[in-house]
Amino acid sequence: VHLEEEKISMFLKLLETEPALLTDIILDALNVEMLGRISSVCSSLQGYLDTDSSIWGRLLVERWGVKADSCPRNLMKWLETVVSSAMAESFRHGFELMVEARVIPAMVDDSGAASWEVPARRMLEWLPMAQRRRLTAFITSDRHPKACVRRFMHSFDLHDTLTPELALRRLLLQFPFLPIDAGSGADRVIKAFAMVWSVQNPEEICNLGLGDATAKEVCDAIYSVTYSMIMLNTDQHNPLVWPKMTVAEYITSCHGCGPLKKIPSQLLAEIHENICTSPLQICPKSHTVDSCIRSTDAGESVHGASYSAYSQHRPSTAKVLNARPPLKLDWSVAYW
């Protein structure tokens, strides 16, 4: 939230009078950095923060998904400095520091639950996009047990999304999952997505022509149509792919896939139209996706993106001889 300069003085006066009454306003209006900056020039707020730890306790839960037995402000400072610095190189290392400090339990327990699930879910809500992509690459890494990804995907609310396409669009804005980042872990993410959508939207299954299908058949169909949308998005918005797939070709291609034989042609036509006019994106505003990220034991490595596994072209070498139509790159489009 950006505070207008003319309102800051009035805001500070209110803090000088009854700061305790403004706790909710403070939490809603200020991030941790801004809170520290304003408290440094507002003695009343500074004193309140020093004596009342509840505001720091709430911030801990909202930003990191953890609680402090005592001194939540000190824990917040440690997380925002030491742990954040470690995560700038390796999210795995950052979470290991939290385990060592007993802020979270062991990385993965006997049930397959990962201790980083709750902190990671919170951090996806406030990290900048570049860091969110790195965190997502860590989460989707195939180094984690399959159960971790399935459990994590169930934390997203996909209720009331009439089609898998709408659900995928909603998910991408919260969880910037890119197959180029997930690598071999992409398959398990899409499987988990299919399972979550079918569980959270049972009333929509009939509209997909799957009313008499088994649970496995439904998941297989959602899994397959999701892959088809990703491929269609690449086909329609990658300038190196030409000619583009027509709606008739898309429907024929989908109906040639066993799990998708019963999907209504009208629904597939709508998916084709929607993706042609509005590509799948990980950010509602223009955001450059000109890199791919790999999560390893050593950390998340960032590499320049190329058009495909078979092309050495880079964003800086967009002009390809004899390309038709002329290449106009929009790196905000997901799934190239």
Q: Quick one: pLDDT at residue 327?
A: 47
Q: What is the pLDDT of residue 301?
A: 77
Cβ atoms of 170 and 131 closer than 8 Å: no
Rounded to two decimals, the pTM is: 0.79
Tens of each residue's pLDDT in the chain, 336 residues: 454 555 666 666 666 666 555 555 665 555 666 666 666 656 656 666 666 567 788 889 989 999 988 888 889 889 999 999 999 999 999 999 999 999 998 866 655 578 899 999 999 999 998 899 999 999 988 888 888 888 999 999 999 999 999 999 999 999 998 776 666 678 889 999 999 999 999 999 999 999 999 999 999 999 999 999 998 988 888 777 788 999 999 999 999 999 999 999 999 999 999 999 998 888 877 555 667 777 877 788 777 665 544 444 444 444 443 444 444 444 444 444
Strand duo 299-304 + 291-296: pairing: antiparallel
Confidence (pLDDT) at 306 = 55
Bridge partners, 300 (sequence order)? 295
pLDDT value at residue 21 = 56
236-272 as b/e: b if 16+ CB within 10 A: bbbbeeeeebeeeebbeebeeeebbeebeeebbeebb
pLDDT at 25: 60
Distance separating alpha carbons of residues 236 and 300, to the nearest angstrom? 30
pLDDT of residue 310: 40
**pLDDT score, position 173:** 92
pLDDT at position 305 = 60
